[in-house]
Amino acid sequence: MNATNKTTSGSHSFQAEVAQLLHLMVHSIYSETDIFLRELISNSSDACDKLRYEALDKPDLIAEGSALAITIRANKDAGTLTIADNGIGMTEQEMIDNLGTIARSGTRAFMERIKQAQEAKETKEGGQLIGQFGVGFYAAFMVADKIEVISRRAGAAEANIWTSKGGDGFTVEPADDARAEAITHGTAIFLHLKPDALKYLEEDEIERIVGRYSDHIQFPIMLQVDADRSRQINKASALWQRSKSELTTEDYKEAYRTLCNAYDEPALTLHYKAEGRQSYAVMLFVPTTRPFDLYDPNFKSGLKLYVRRVFISESASLLPNYLRFVSGIVDSEDLPLNISREMLQNNVQLAHIRKAITSRVISEFAKTAENDAEHYLKIWESFGATIKEGLYEDRERKDELLPLIRFTTTKGETLRSLKDYVADFKENQTEIYYLVGESIARLKANPKLEAAKARGVEVLLLTDHVDAFWTSAMMDFEGKKLTSLSQGNVDLSLIPLLESEADKDKEDTNGKDVEEATLASLKVTLKELVSDVRASSRLTDSAACLVADGFGFDRELERLLARQNKGSGAKPVLEVNLRHPLLKAAAKAKREDQEDIAFILLDQSKIIDGEVPEDPAAFASRLNRLILRGMA
Ligand code: ADP
């Protein structure tokens, strides 16, 4: 975690990202200021969860006779709203670290996007972006111009007070006023409300917001009515323990927002109870929007493990990494309550649960794809590239995962499944063809498609980063091999040509001997640079292309790995179209011209693949030489 800069004793400046975020909060055109309360209650609930977990080993941490709860107090005279909890609390250092920095990486870039959306007055988008980001504690600066946080870590003697008016910084000092004395352990947040936010002091308003966003928080939320009267204003039920028939779509939406701290709507909800060898309740959600840091190595999944209603961990890896976007709760009846976080890794019961819920999630995707294809495509758009990671991380489930994958293909705009593809096989076609590259436009222009195009054969166009990886693992779908058009000897000759193309096949060639001599001459010239020069059966219009040998990595994967210095260093094969006029001319050309042509064929093939010739200046002068000779 980045430490903040300490300036003078007790004063600290915010990490730059926080200062920027606060600026956004204060000048926010984001209309839903209500969510500040939800954020603070959610933090309090987490703090209670953490203390309850620590107290499993050290029961003394929870003050005798006190039940974990969250209390809201409104003081109209002072214009302050207080949200207090008797949870885990924070030490001085924790306050400095947690309330002065944002630990998520990629934050700065993301904040720029929010700012742009807000400047362009795209309120809705701005709101959604903030939602993906989860502004947490800092949301309180939307309604308060000064915030005091008094906190005492459970088990610690001293309490501290964190104070800030937003802007650049905050102070942290020992707290010894009456407010601190009232806290045995936990945190109280005093919001000095802005003049236009005084409505949040009204009981009705507080109750409305808690009912809307925090009803299912597990701990009681108490509204302090006067000095010695308070009443509970949330249901505090473990919603996932209720039966499906009792819950409405609206309940699920709220559960998603409360339990997963989400702002969007769930795209899929999965709620069931498993009985038998293991008993557990599951309530899972697939978000609609992709979290901005889904691809960050430190991304934290929002899937929490509970044991008999007690929160245990949010890093129990209850689903494989490629389903990390699924959030929610798994509540086990059988695991021991005092299971340590380290033990979670190797627990057999947990491994069983993990396997079972992975299957359920995957089959839920399959069902949605079958019953509501349009909705499935929306999920696919957000999470498809992540699901594909499963194809190489979880080889055992390849046959379950492959049918879920949707592809852009040469066939047109709509995304296709492998089942669609196979149903449209051409006569004599036995394999599924694909090409991996950086963009659809570039792939569509790639000469390696020519033989397939000439036969009307559909080709999968793969542009996600993961595609180069999973395809390298020799896949088949229902016994049909997936074959790269940029690798090995692809032979489509058994598939009949389209009528419009059939004539090209009859074009004159130079005859076998001459062709072999041409190939040999090219090989001699390029001997250090390629592993072979071969006649191509995948080209019909272009002169040449580079492909990978039949074994080893596809060209695209090789390129990706080479960027990280992990390439195999394998040399490509140059394939040439012997019917192309340039190759025919090369056969008759002088030796020095043949050499220029050889290098130009190699370099132009690289350019077509989006690479740069090894020696661009030499490429240019060879090209110029040939043009001039042609004009002479
Ligand atoms: P997030 O909750 O997403 O981590 P926040 O900005 O809301 O982000 O909070 C930052 C951190 O501050 C929390 O992760 C937690 O460690 C700490 N924190 C906030 N509120 C409390 C609280 N009421 N009790 C204990 N710790 C808290």
pLDDT digits 0-9 by tens, 70-83: 999 999 999 999 99
Backbone region of residue 359 per phi and psi (left: phi > 0; alpha: psi in -120 to 50; beta: other values): alpha
pLDDT at 361 over 50: yes
% residues pLDDT > 90 (the chain): 61
DSSP 501-533: GHHHHHS----HHHHHHHHHHHHHHTTTT-SEE
pLDDT at 537 over 80: yes
User: 85: Cβ below 6 Å to ligand 1?
Assistant: yes
Nearest residue CA, atom 19 of ligand 1? 43
Instruction: Please name each of the domains of the chain with its CATH number.
Output: 5-232 (3.30.565.10), 239-373 (3.30.230.80), 508-631 (1.20.120.790)
Tell me which of 532-536, 560-564, 605-609 is least confident.
Answer: 560-564
pLDDT at 3 over 60: no
Alpha-carbon distance values, 325 to 52, 107, 272 (Å): 27, 18, 19
User: 526: Cβ below 6 Å to ligand 1?
Assistant: no
Measured in Å, residue 137 CA sits from the centre of ligand 1 at 7
pLDDT band at 2 (very low <50, low <70, confident <90, very high): very low
Q: What is the pLDDT of residue 1?
A: 43
Measured in Å, residue 320 CA sits from the centre of ligand 1 at 26
Measured in Å, residue 92 CA sits from the centre of ligand 1 at 14
Q: Could you identify the atom of ligand 1 that is nearest to the CA of residue 42?
A: 2
User: 161: Cβ below 6 Å to ligand 1?
Assistant: no
User: 15: Cβ below 6 Å to ligand 1?
Assistant: no
Tell me which of 18-32, 43-57, 178-192, 255-269 is least confident.
Answer: 18-32
Task: Give counts: helices (H), strands (E), the chain.
Answer: 23, 24
pLDDT at 545 over 90: yes
- As a three-state string, the secondary structure of 235-270 is CCCCHHHCCHHHCCHHHHHHHHHHHHCCCCCEEEEE
Burial class (CB in 10 A: 0-12, 13-18, 19+), 534: middle
CB-CB contact of 185 with 157 (8 Å): no
Q: What is the pLDDT of residue 135?
A: 72
pLDDT at 6 over 60: no
Measured in Å, residue 198 CA sits from the centre of ligand 1 at 24
- Comparing 537 with 405, the larger pLDDT belongs to 405
Q: What is the pLDDT of residue 505?
A: 60
pLDDT band at 244 (very low <50, low <70, confident <90, very high): very high
Q: What is the pLDDT of residue 168?
A: 80
pLDDT digits 0-9 by tens, 411-450: 988 999 999 999 999 999 999 999 999 899 989 989 999 9
Find which of 106-110, 148-152, 173-177, 288-292 is predicted with most confidence, using mean pLDDT: 148-152
Find which of 20-24, 195-199, 552-556, 607-611 is predicted with most confidence, using mean pLDDT: 195-199
pLDDT band at 128 (very low <50, low <70, confident <90, very high): low
